[in-house]
Amino acid sequence: MRASRPKVAIAAVAAAALAVAGCAESDREGSSGSSNETLVFGVAGDPKVLDPSFASDGESLRVARQVFETLVRPEEGGTKVSPGLAESWEPDAAGTTWTFKLRSGVKFHDGTDFNAEAVCTNFDRWYNAKGLMQSPDVTAYWQDIMGGFAANEDDTLPESLFKSCTATDATTVSLAFTRVSSKIPAALMLPSFSIHSPKALQEHDASNVTGSADDIKYPAYATEHPTGTGPFKFKSWDVPNKTLTLERNEDYWGDKAKLKSLIFRTISDENARKQALRSGDIQGYDLVGPADVEPLKGEGFNVLTRPAFNILYLAINQKGNPKLADIKVRQALAHAINRQALVDSKLPPGAQVAVNFFPETVEGWNGDVTKYDYDVEKAKSLLAEAGASDLTLRFHYPTEVTRPYMPNPKDLFELVSADLQAAGIKIEPIPLKWSPDYLNATTSGSAHDLHFLGWTGDYGDGYNFIGTFFDRQKDEWGFNNPALFEKFKQADTTADQAAKVALYKEINADIMNFLPGVPISHAPPAIVFGKDVTGVKASPLTDERFSTAEFKS
């Protein structure tokens, strides 16, 4: 008698819950199951901005790649420069002016025509950026590639590499540069050089970045009206629900997207993405944990492995410890590390030991360089020769992070430090939180000796890897090697492709002789799709084209 009321109450609540459940369940199936033309893809972070001119984070660029197109683009599944909005291109004799022959019959999402004028409008917009648009966190990639602007407002900005754009006729456009650069045309594949609709840019005041330097506000174009020529059109960005919806561009010039809509949904936790895929909430996700690759394959999911386009290296800071300036000590470190064992046990299938500081797919890779085989005895004797048998090294490694080139930093640290200890080196481990502590400590050259870091390439050019590391004196490495720096300058300004590649081969050999650090490995990152999703080709540049994705019927 006493318990009858609570029992009734509990029963009532349970019944109500079940009723709601049934209703919600059927709705969910009804809305997502009725058409197999919507793909929900799990991503690790929210995009920051939809105007790729202002973007440098991977998630913003992923969205941009579906909505926008660039003059040239990477070949599908590769890194080579191939036609995009331009069908062909060639430099003039001096190598400073590049002429692009444009595709005709292309329309922007707002219905206006794509032509040479539109291309110039875009380049002029970037080049003539003023005020806050010159802030390095707004136009990071432009500054990375082009240096400065028409009128630099900050004295520390270099002269612009870009000079002018000329529209000869509707389908011919010439880009002039102030000097020859090895980055052109490869860098023009970056989504930051996406061509926007001039009409939309003007209508939505796209260049009107307002606020103050510490309080930058983007115009509505950058968050609500991105207008390109790509196979998908922007539909909505539901920030509270962490989802961004794109829909098929019915007027696309090429093969139309097979999906009707494509939804990017942010799930920052890697395990949560995996669970969402298994429970059918999403039909694919990126940044698959290396340990999940085989299990997911076993369950029948479509796991795609991207060709490795990255490098993990052990940096040696010569400034922090004078003994490390001795080449024999650096050679000893290289000989002491069993990189093959590390690749075999701690990296995903398909990973390789690095011979250069960039992967074999980049032109200029050189297999004929000094190699440092695993040899503990040799390491010990080199250390003895250098009078450094009692070496103690402060070894930084990051925590709370997974990078495509470094899936499990702590495991890697433990292996490498055990190897070094076996060669008689004492290790003082210094774990630091990846962002911002670790990046701050390693790149600003604080008192440390060794650290792991790496890089994923933006485009297929050697400079994008080794130039980023070694083209001048940097706090991360702490060495000054003018001869090497000079060769970089020479390579960057060599117009002749064959000569340039030869120079990069030479530089790679020099680097491996000088041994500023130890290149460790190239690891292939994975991306996964649902069991019934096909058609996507993995790209080393993470330039996956969702327009070819489809559900197997």
Question: d(Cα 11, Cα 17) in Å, to the nearest integer?
Answer: 10
Which of 280, 295, 367, 429 touches other proteins (CB under 8 A)? 280
CB of 40 to other proteins, least distance (A): 6
**Residue placing its CB nearer to other proteins in the complex, 416 or 453:** 453
**Residue placing its CB nearer to other proteins in the complex, 406 or 420:** 406
Backbone angles phi, psi at 236, to 5 degrees: -155, 155
CB of 305 to other proteins, least distance (A): 22
Map the footprint of other proteins across residues 145-174, applying CB under 8 A: 154, 156
CB of 299 to other proteins, least distance (A): 11
Backbone angles phi, psi at 293, to 5 degrees: -60, -55
Which of 257, 441, 541, 549 touches other proteins (CB under 8 A)? 441
Map the footprint of other proteins across residues 183-222, applying CB under 8 A: 211, 213-218
Backbone angles phi, psi at 161, to 5 degrees: -75, -35
| 285 CB neighbour count, 10 Å cutoff | 24
Q: Is 38 in the site for other proteins (CB under 8 A)?
A: yes
Backbone angles phi, psi at 97, to 5 degrees: -120, 125
Map the footprint of other proteins across residues 444-473, applying CB under 8 A: 444, 453-455, 468
What are the CA-CA distances from residue 260 to residues 68, 543, 551 (Å)? 17, 20, 11
**Residue placing its CB nearer to other proteins in the complex, 278 or 489:** 278
**Residue placing its CB nearer to other proteins in the complex, 217 or 371:** 217
**Residue placing its CB nearer to other proteins in the complex, 306 or 380:** 306
Stretch that binds other proteins, among 178-186, 367-375, 432-440, 502-510 (CB under 8 A): 432-440
Q: Dig out the tokens for 187 from the structure.
A: 């860098």
Amino acid (1-letter code) at residue 58 = G
Which of 223, 305, 490, 534 touches other proteins (CB under 8 A)? 223
Q: Find out whether 465 and 540 touch, Cβ atoms under 8 Å.
A: no
541 Cβ neighbours under 8 A, 6+ residues apart: 74, 79, 189, 309, 457, 458, 459, 460
**Residue placing its CB nearer to other proteins in the complex, 164 or 223:** 223
What are the CA-CA distances from residue 472 to residues 71, 325, 491 (Å)? 31, 17, 13
Q: Is 399 in the site for other proteins (CB under 8 A)?
A: no
**Residue placing its CB nearer to other proteins in the complex, 277 or 501:** 277
Q: Is 36 in the site for other proteins (CB under 8 A)?
A: no
CB of 224 to other proteins, least distance (A): 12
Question: d(Cα 92, Cα 152) in Å, to the nearest integer?
Answer: 28
Dihedral sign for Cα atoms in the order 371, 373, 376, 378: negative
Which of 93, 105, 240, 498 touches other proteins (CB under 8 A)? 240
Q: Is 291 in the site for other proteins (CB under 8 A)?
A: no
Q: Is 137 in the site for other proteins (CB under 8 A)?
A: yes
